[in-house]
Amino acid sequence: MATTKLGFIVQRPGYKSENPKLAITHAIASQSVEVYLNEGDVVTADIAFIGDGVLNCKKDQKAMDLYKLTSTETHIKMSLLLDLNVLVCKEDLDRFGLTENDIVIDAEEFGAEVTVKVVPFTDITKMMEEVNHLLFF
Amino acid sequence: MGKLTIGCFASLVGSMSLDFAVKLAGTAMEKGHKVDLWVSGNGTMLSIKGQRAFKDYSFLEGPLKELMAKGLNVTACEACAEARGYHKENTMEGFKRHSMDWYLASTFDADRVLHIGGE
């Protein structure tokens, strides 16, 4: 039985490129990875939004209305439903004049029990040090 | 010898990142390492068969086939490929297609993971 920890670091804004959404969908795939592994072995995924990447967390996204696409906001909520650890850099939110009130924090409507954590960058650095592999998007 | 997992999300044409990823995979294999190569997003363009070689565009079907013959394990994200109209019948022989959990599973026992994001 072993665990491999992955850290998904999202630095780019949403919708300009596919990267942020791919980061989240790949992180979500950690929930079904066991089919390829021996019993008891797991891969975990933490997601951190930093820099321009914090803009992905804006709430009330209209991607479905405007583009007929699942919003990045919905993907973040799915991550919460699957109990992924989702971190958002507080300093970068401040830089954009955003607060916790402006971003997706929970997914209670989906039944998620965990919430997005707005944390100082030092906490994100700590997560990055604790994981086995980092993937930058 | 170790295992290297490379994930590349950049397109075949319009970026040199896939060229780098394939070259790195070949070099690592020459040194005796096992290499898994995952392509997702625009990187799934690499999986299409019948690429035509021009001097002004990246052409990786040739080198990739040589590496696959030597044991390179290369897999494309099936959903990303299908979304782009890259269907199974257009996929290069030996190029696998799986869901994203394949990539994460490959990282499980990898000594190093090199993730090269898209454009």
> Between chain A and chain B, how many beta carbons pairs sit less than 8 Å apart?
70
- Provide the shortest C-alpha distance from residue B23 to chain A (in Å): 20
Nearest CA in chain A to B38: A26
Residues of chain A neighbouring B105 (CB-CB closer than 8 A): 33, 35-37, 43
Domains and CATH numbers, chain B: 3-116 (3.40.1260.10)
**CA distances (Å), origin B36, targets A101, B2, B109:** 42, 11, 11
Q: What distance in Å separates the CA atoms of residue B51 and residue A38, rounded to the nearest whole number?
A: 37
Question: What average pLDDT does the segment B86-105 reach?
Answer: 97
Q: How confident is the model at residue B118 (pLDDT cuts 50, 70, 90)?
A: confident
Residue B98 dihedral angles phi and psi, to the nearest 5°: -145, 175
> Considering chain B, what is the average pLDDT of its residues?
96
Query: Do A18 and B100 count as a contact with CB atoms less than 8 A apart?
Result: no
Whether the CB-CB separation of A26 and B39 falls below 8 Å is answered with no
**What residues form DSSP beta bridges with B77?**
B98
| Token pair in block for residue B104 | 């994460």
Domains and CATH numbers, chain A: 3-136 (3.40.1260.10)
Write down the pLDDT at residue B117: 84
Residue B44 dihedral angles phi and psi, to the nearest 5°: -65, -15
Residues in chain B: 119
Q: What distance in Å separates the CA atoms of residue A28 and residue A128, rounded to the nearest whole number?
A: 18
Whether the CB-CB separation of B114 and B8 falls below 8 Å is answered with no
Helix (H) or strand (E) segment spanning residue B37: strand B34-39
| Predicted complex ipTM | 0.87
**What residues form DSSP beta bridges with B114?**
B6
Query: Do B100 and A133 count as a contact with CB atoms less than 8 A apart?
Result: no
Write down the pLDDT at residue B94: 96
Write down the pLDDT at residue B119: 77
Residues of chain B neighbouring A137 (CB-CB closer than 8 A): 115, 117
Compute the half-sphere exposure of residue A18: CA atoms within 13 Å on the CB side of its CA: 16
pLDDT lower than 50: segments of chain A:
none
Q: What is the pLDDT of residues B9-21, one digit of tens each?
A: 999 998 999 999 9
Q: What distance in Å separates the CA atoms of residue A112 and residue A105, rounded to the nearest whole number?
A: 11
Interface with chain B: mutation pick from A5, A11, A15, A43, highest number of B CBs within 10 Å:
A43
Across A53-81, b (16+ Cβ under 10 Å) vs e yields: bbbbbbeebebeeeeeeebbbbbbbbbbb
Interface with chain A: mutation pick from B108, B111, B116, highest number of A CBs within 10 Å:
B108
Q: What is the pLDDT of residues B70-90, one digit of tens each?
A: 999 999 999 999 999 999 999
Q: What is the pLDDT of residues A1-34, one digit of tens each?
A: 899 999 999 999 999 999 999 999 999 999 999 9
Q: Which amino acid is at A111?
A: G
